[in-house]
Chain A
Amino acid sequence: MNAEVLISYFPLYGEAFWLTVRIGLIGIGLAFVIGIVTAFFSYFKVPFFSQLSKVYIELFRNTPLLVQLFFIYFGLPKIGIRISAEVCGVVGLGLLGGSYMAEGFRSGLEAVPKSQTESALALGMTRGQMFFNVIFPEAFSLSVPAIVANIIFLLKETSVFSAISLMDLMFTAKDLIGLYYNTTEALFLLVLFYMVMLLPVSILGNVIEKKVRFKMFGA
């Protein structure tokens, strides 16, 4: 491996890294919101919206992100909606992630014992107060492992962004290999930057998981 090549490539990867992180974070934020909203609809069996949520979840969980991105990036302009590659990446990640987050929250919600619902109601809470103060926070704690796994999965999925010419890490690596043939260095930096992005998430996730579990169950 050539140190000079590594150093000269570094800034390019740095830029791509921030782009990936930025889109990743915003997309995951969006996924969170979508996940919570759909979980809310399913939990209260809101007419129409709960069925819609179900269709949405199945549709996005069972198609590859790349296909979804193609639909958004190349399909929408055909019906007159133009969006930038970056927005497309965020929306794509948000929609895919939303379906996974929704499933994570749903399993958490189902794991909250019924007696919790009843004691909240018996204290005079409305169903909304019960959901946001008792059921959801508990379900959230129970969903933490699934959420952490989803976040890591989604950050890894960003590697298909290069297909809609977003200059993310994968795009940068492919580009450099194509131009200069320094395959070893390019791939080494690719792995390195993905690790730098994902390892902290993984470690932080573990810590949060333990903390939450201890708080609620003491083990």
Chain B
Amino acid sequence: MEEILNISNLTKRYDDLVVLDHVNLSVKKGEVIVLVGTSGCGKSTFLRCINALEKIQEGKVSLDGEVINPAGGKLNTVRERIGMVFQSYDLFPHKTVLQNMILAPVKVKKINKKEAEKEALALLDRVGLLSKKDSYPHQLSGGQKQRVAIVRALMMHPEVLLLDEITAALDPEMVREVLDVVISLAREGRTMIIVTHELTFARAVADRMIFIDGGKIVEEGSPEEFFNHPKTDRLKKFLDSFSYD
């Protein structure tokens, strides 16, 4: 399959702290990559570098052949093409669910408001939240907020979707409803890079698993190899930290 996203020699430092050290990754169209690693290993930073929320010190990120970080000026047009959902529910609190969804399409893509609304309603219906279209974010549960955040990102028709621990702040009973949405997106062939601590979900959704440690990709492979036959000690140790026996 054809490559959509290419990351080569990406190096990110905060002053003296090297968070990412010459990382290389090629993502194919429709591929679902799940990124894992210990807390603070740089997973969020990696995603943020991909859509140029962070400046990088070395290397480059290209989307469909176009260099997007370091970006030459038009950052916003690049970010339109890469959707991102964060851990903290970050819906706009002064806007209803529907207004949250159409804001960027209307203002950024200059899509006709009626058309945007039509699409938004269809997406809300798909994630079972049509009845919440006129609610404000504070009137939603955490799981509902995250589902809205996902479809809000979809409204921009991103070529790649980045999901950063989108269930980490949720009560356990709400995790499922959000992950089900992600799984359905994977099935319809969306390209995604997902950071998560839900390993069962990772195994189900990933085409490729990636383990980051010490600023580098230490191990990668199919979920089957990755979980059942980890090659490096560091990954074994990481996976062991999730079991209780």
**A binding-site residues for B, Cβ under 8 Å:** 113, 115-116, 118-126, 129, 133-134, 137-138, 141, 215-218
**B144 at interface (Cβ–Cβ under 8 A)?**
no
Give chain B residues whose Cβ lies under 8 Å from the Cβ of A129. Answer: 76, 107-108
Tell me the nearest residue of chain A to B48, going by C-beta: A118
Our pick among B51, B80, B138 for the contact of A216 (Cβ within 8 Å) is B138
Q: Is the CB of B108 within 8 A of A122?
A: no
**B77 at interface (Cβ–Cβ under 8 A)?**
yes
Give chain A residues whose Cβ lies under 8 Å from the Cβ of B75. Answer: 121
**B binding-site residues for A, Cβ under 8 Å:** 51, 53, 75-77, 79-84, 86, 88, 90-94, 103-104, 107-109, 136, 138-139, 149, 152-153, 156
Given contacts A217-B138, A218-B139, 14 further A-B contacts (CB under 8 A): A113-B90, A118-B90, A121-B79, A122-B86, A122-B153, A123-B80, A123-B83, A124-B77, A124-B81, A126-B108, A133-B107, A141-B94, A215-B94, A216-B94
The 5 tightest CB contacts between A and B, nearest first, are A124-B80, A123-B104, A119-B90, A218-B138, A122-B84
Among B80, B82, B104, B139, the most chain A Cβ lie within 10 Å of the Cβ of B104
A-B contact pairs, 25 of them (CB 8 A): A116-B92, A119-B84, A119-B91, A119-B149, A122-B83, A123-B80, A123-B104, A124-B76, A124-B77, A124-B79, A124-B108, A124-B109, A125-B76, A125-B108, A126-B76, A133-B103, A133-B107, A138-B92, A138-B93, A215-B94, A215-B136, A216-B138, A217-B93, A217-B138, A218-B138
Give chain B residues whose Cβ lies under 8 Å from the Cβ of A124. Answer: 76-77, 79-81, 104, 108-109, 156
Tell me the nearest residue of chain A to B107, going by C-beta: A129
Q: Is the CB of B90 within 8 A of A116?
A: yes
Tell me the nearest residue of chain B to A112, going by C-beta: B93
Our pick among B77, B94, B156 for the contact of A123 (Cβ within 8 Å) is B156
Give chain A residues whose Cβ lies under 8 Å from the Cβ of B79. Answer: 121-124
The CA-CA distance from A123 to B99 in the complex, in Å, is 14
The CA-CA distance from A133 to B108 in the complex, in Å, is 11
Tell me the nearest residue of chain A to B136, going by C-beta: A215
Our pick among B53, B94, B149 for the contact of A137 (Cβ within 8 Å) is B94
Q: Is the CB of A115 within 8 A of B104?
A: no
Q: Is the CB of A118 within 8 A of B53?
A: yes
Task: Kindly provide the distance from the CB of A150 to the nearest chain B CB, expressed in whole angstroms.
Answer: 21
Among A115, A122, A137, A216, the most chain B Cβ lie within 10 Å of the Cβ of A122
Give chain A residues whose Cβ lies under 8 Å from the Cβ of B103. Answer: 123, 133-134
Our pick among A116, A123, A134, A217 for the contact of B153 (Cβ within 8 Å) is A123
Tell me the nearest residue of chain A to B87, going by C-beta: A115
Tell me the nearest residue of chain B to A138, going by C-beta: B94
Give chain A residues whose Cβ lies under 8 Å from the Cβ of B156. Answer: 123-124
The CA-CA distance from A116 to B92 in the complex, in Å, is 7
Q: Is the CB of A121 within 8 A of B136?
A: no
Give chain A residues whose Cβ lies under 8 Å from the Cβ of B94. Answer: 137-138, 141, 215-216
